Structure 1
Amino acid sequence: MVGVEWLRKRGGGADWPRVLLVALAATVLLAVGVAAATSTTSFGPYNPGWDGSSDLRSQIQAEPGVEAELLRDTAGYEGIEPEGTVAFVAAPDEPYTGEDAERLRSFVENGGTLVVLENFGEGGNTVLAAVGADARFHGDLLRDEQNHFRGPPMPIADNVTDHELTDGVTQLTLNYATAVEPGEATVLVRTSDVTYLGSEETELAEVEELDAYPVATSENVSAGTVVAVGDPSITINSMLAEPDNAAFVSGLYEDADRVVLDVSHVGDVPPLAAAILTLRDSPFLQVVVGFGAIGAVAVLSGRRLPTDRLRRTRAGRARDLERAEPGRELSTADRAAYLRKRYPDWDDDRIERVTAAVERAERRGPDGPGTEPTRGSDEHDQ
């Protein structure tokens, strides 16, 4: 324990073992809190890593006049007014079938805007099929040997159609994207005309055709709108700030009253966020937690220092004053003067409080000046 003794000597008498224990406990609690509040799911709105979309979630929440909502179950669509709402579905891990598909279709048919972002999975195409859209995701990798960001698999798509959804957008910076087969949909953005589809191993010499491929489309479905984007990576933290990804994404919900992030078919939501969402969706739990908090405050506010210890503490102060001038009955001013001398770091308010407490202890009788002070009595009044 040489190190502890050295800390005590150098630390001005501080209780360093306790300080270190508190620091360790705080570190553990912080680590647990971070783990409970964050996720590692790719494209996840609670994932602060390079492949998460926590920046997009923050951007939406900061948008004035826009209500942000996270859906962990497609049943949530039934309580949302479709008109004025934009819902994002990014790279779902599972297909939308059955009731899930019906809820999405109803959302779009009644005036909702659905944005589907996908590259290589089949989940995105099940969504497009479920709502009756024409567009489909091709599924092969787009490569551009000339117009790219950090390599051919990251094309710069700068053929932008003049459209209300592309206002202020001159390009999209893609990251392992696929093409969108538009069908009857309107093409919003295309790649350059020297792009090709293949795989990471495909060489340019093996390619028979270069073309400008659609990577974003928009189409009307019943009373709603469906936007298909062949790259969910434009929403992740490492790519959102690249030209002009953020402008394009924000333009999709610029006139919306509500933005929904549909995570019903992706990885788990972190525990803390899940608890908050569950509480928000359950009035019964809100009442239970509310009454529990009120009860806890009432219990904590009702705690008092044990009366016998308090009396012994005040009696100890009275005994100190009696020893100052034996046989003399001290006045309030005498007591205050003695306390100022004994405890020079005390302010006037504390002097007055202790003096009053001593006089009350004397008036109570047996538990007054004649009682021996206990260890720790100084700490109580200090």
Structure 2
Amino acid sequence: MEKKTPLYEQHVALKGRIVPFAGYLLPVQYPTGVIAEHMAVRQHAGLFDVSHMGEALIEGPQAEQALNYILSNQFTGMPVGKARYSLMLNEAGGVVDDLIVYRRSETSFFLVLNAANTEKDLAWLRAHLQGEASLTDLSDRVAQIAVQGPEADKVLSGLADLEALPKKYYSFVEHVTVASVPCMVSRTGYTGEDGYELYMEPKDAPAVWEALVQAGATPCGLGARDTLRLEASMPLYGHELNDHMDPLCAGLGFAVKLDKEDFIGKSALMQLGEPARVRVGLKATGRGILREDQPIWIDGKEVGVTTSGTHCPYLGVSCAMAYVDTACSAPGTAVEVEVRGRHVAAEIVPLPFYKRTKSK
């Protein structure tokens, strides 16, 4: 039985098309459609219910050391009020999950986990937490709303003190009033745009959502969330990442600090050597829409497989992320992607496909 987020009734009232996703009932799109929602985020401001995500606290005198052992990134010296992307690896160097860590104090960290992996992640954290550190599952006590797009500040201007909002990407302010509701606000997102993610008590989420809609944000569903993240080349667990794929092949070495003391998966990563396959971008040059799990060919030889693909509305072209043999991964390499039994011409291109123009 799927759960309902605190905003379920709002989605129904807005005639969202509800589907099961990661154990929840969520809108895949609204009557305006995925393309219109996608373009609203790229050009104005979009609104997402991400209350299905998991949240947890790691606290205690040795919370920092515990996270440094369980996660691949470095948390020593991380300032209070900053957020950091990291990976949680298994002993073989595969990815248990990717997540974001927020430092609330010297001894308290707030973690945001992928919805489909929340129970698995919590079990992994419990099993590997060391020293004087405790874990608290907050998933049912936190609602999350994302406001994304170049007009995110404009949308929030009448609902919050803009000076109180976080100024830099991957930073947060723990106590901000939005639409008369106490929120934690972070400058993060999963769309490739500037914007914010708001965390609040579930009972307060409907009032915040409705205020944001009234302020001009376009409600967006899972469909646009996926096309936006793909256009921005952001990996998705179960597609670009899994228990058998290491983060170095995925191009996520920036979040793996091999020079820090031991962490789960470090030994395996140190022994890997040059990766046999790496994550690349593909742009269709022939007619056809690239999707996931499609073989990639060069001169009759299969050299890789797509992991995510779609028509990118803002770019106006079909793109895919893929893993290909390292020897043929250079940008400009011509390939063919097998789409429903026929080969569609494509080209390897640099990632990300889309990168916003920074206004600040």
Using the size of structure 2 for normalisation, the TM-score is: 0.23
| Structure (1 or 2) with the greater helix fraction | 1
| Structure (1 or 2) with the greater strand fraction | 2
Larger radius of gyration, structure 1 or 2?
1
